[in-house]
Amino acid sequence: MSGKVYIAGVGVISAIGNNVEECLHALQNEEAGMNNIKYLKTVHANELPVAEVKLNNDELAVKAGLSSKISRTALLSAIAAKEALNDSTITGINNLRTGFISANTVGGIDKTENFYHDYFKENKPGNLHDVVNHECGSITELVAGHLNINAYTTTISTACSSSASSIMHAARLIKAGMLDAAIAGGVDALTKFTLNGFNTLLILDTAFCKPFDENRNGLNLGEGAGYVVLVSEKIAAQLKREMYCELKGYANANDAYHQTASSPEGNGSFLAMQQALQKANLQPDDIDYINLHGTGTQNNDGAEGTAIERLFNPAYPKMSSTKSFTGHTLGASGGIEAVFSALSVKHNYVYPNLRLQTPIKDFPFSAERNFLKDQRINNVLSNSFGFGGNCTSLIFSKA
């Protein structure tokens, strides 16, 4: 496996913006996307803040060019993936071996929930069109067909590391000479199933989340989609335009410590970061900024912080969790944060860690509180750590 892999295009939709420009404006102006629940039908609407995309399904369908009757997951995916593809300036997509590697964890559950609600309420069969795209892979296939991509399509679902792993998989396929280009990332829409599940785990904050704060109380769930267009060196040269950055390193590790918790020593986190550095042929002090996984739970921030201390001590790069803006978008988080990381490398930005008041006392470092521009950003490490100890780290570097 040889050759470089570049990021040629980016696309995103989240609670802080419906496209890349809007999201970047929110990051620069420290505008978080959390609020009371508006679109999801749930008994927790006035209890648990979430980071919803600020459009209903009809509005999303217009932007996506799809029917509003399909899953919100597919609508979000199509919007961000199409933006990334257009941004890449790649034309004649069918003349290239182009893949669509997408991640999600909820599939079409939003429609399934509606089906069963109506079925039990009215004792009627319900509309079976609401359940035919229930599983995760069906969402990917819907969007791949919409984008007219048929060379290679697959779905990755490894909890919160899903879309980072899809980007890693895409890079490996390009390096192996199996694809010329790939749209990779992920998506998740908010569902009652997800909200109720995390609420049962007692890890949702009833206020806006405070990642890497000593007094953090949990996470806020979010939704959205984020994709990058990865291309080979050959395609990058043909595009005759500046690449966002190079995807220089990546690694996946699993500490298999617990179904829903990371090991206190941060073993999976440590291995993912360490091996990504090795893949990139970089040292810890080459990293200029870490986009933390940073969910705001006691366990996650503690484990990730411990792993960072093990690997980077005594010289720590700047770091922050952009989940303080977008909430935890689960299967979409690695893709959304990959977009933010690529923008960080291109524009030399460091994003703030909102609402940080008291740094974690056990660590000799603290997350960044302010938006910083004109920084020296050559290498960004982006972490995505999921349930079951499944951890993926990506390294984005100046092209």
List domains and CATH numbers for the chain. Answer: 7-239 (3.40.47.10), 245-397 (3.40.47.10)
Q: Which CA distances in Å does 162 have to 5, 101, 152, 169, 213?
A: 20, 10, 18, 10, 25
Helix H or strand E encompassing 168: helix 162-175
pLDDT value of residue 126: 67
Bridge partners for 113 per DSSP: none
Catalytic residue among 23, 209, 293, 391: 293
How far apart, in whole angstroms, are the C-alpha atoms of residue 16 and residue 27?
A: 8
> Do residues 212 and 43 make contact, with C-beta atoms less than 8 angstroms apart?
no
How far apart, in whole angstroms, are the C-alpha atoms of residue 379 and residue 250?
A: 12
Q: Max alpha carbon distance in the chain (Å)?
A: 64
How far apart, in whole angstroms, are the C-alpha atoms of residue 189 and residue 351?
A: 24
258 is catalytic: no
> Do residues 306 and 266 make contact, with C-beta atoms less than 8 angstroms apart?
yes
What three-state secondary structure class fits 328?
strand
pLDDT value of residue 125: 64
End-to-end CA distance of the chain: 19
What three-state secondary structure class fits 43?
coil
CA dihedral sign of residues 323, 324, 326, 328: positive
Sheet containing 379-385: which strands, arranged edge to edge?
A: 152-156, 98-103, 181-188, 224-232, 5-13, 245-254, 390-397, 379-385, 289-291, 318-320
134 is catalytic: no
> Do residues 104 and 139 make contact, with C-beta atoms less than 8 angstroms apart?
yes
pLDDT value of residue 115: 82
Residue labelled with tokens 């899903």: 162
> Do residues 45 and 36 make contact, with C-beta atoms less than 8 angstroms apart?
yes
Bridge partners for 47 per DSSP: none
pLDDT value of residue 387: 78
pLDDT value of residue 343: 98
How far apart, in whole angstroms, are the C-alpha atoms of residue 6 and residue 326?
A: 25
293 is catalytic: yes
What backbone phi and psi angles, to 5 degrees, belong to 4? -95, 155
Number of neighbouring beta carbons within 10 Å of residue 63:
17
What backbone phi and psi angles, to 5 degrees, belong to 27? -65, -40
Q: Which letter does DSSP use for residue 219 in this model? A: B
pLDDT value of residue 57: 97
pLDDT value of residue 123: 66
**How does pLDDT run across 25-84, given as a tens digit for each residue?**
999 999 999 999 999 999 999 899 999 999 999 999 999 999 999 999 999 999 999 999
Which amino acid belongs to residue 338? A
Q: What is the pLDDT along the chain (399 residues), one digit of tens a residue?
A: 569 999 999 999 999 999 999 999 999 999 999 999 999 999 999 899 999 999 999 999 999 999 999 999 999 999 999 999 999 999 888 889 999 999 999 999 999 998 877 777 776 666 777 788 999 999 999 999 999 998 999 999 999 999 999 999 999 999 999 999 999 999 999 999 999 999 999 999 999 999 999 999 999 999 999 999 999 999 999 998 999 999 999 999 988 877 777 888 889 999 999 999 999 999 999 999 999 999 999 999 999 999 999 999 999 999 999 999 999 999 999 999 999 999 999 999 999 999 999 999 999 999 999 999 999 999 999 999 987 789 999 999 999
CA angle 377/385/295 to nearest 5° reads 80
pLDDT value of residue 116: 77
pTM of the model: 0.97
Catalytic residue among 160, 209, 245, 391: 160
* Entry field: residues in the chain: 399
Residue 185: how many CA atoms within 13 Å on its side-chain side?
Answer: 38
- Joined together, the tokens standing for residue 41 give 């039908």
Residues 6+ away with beta carbon under 8 Å from 206:
47, 48, 49, 217
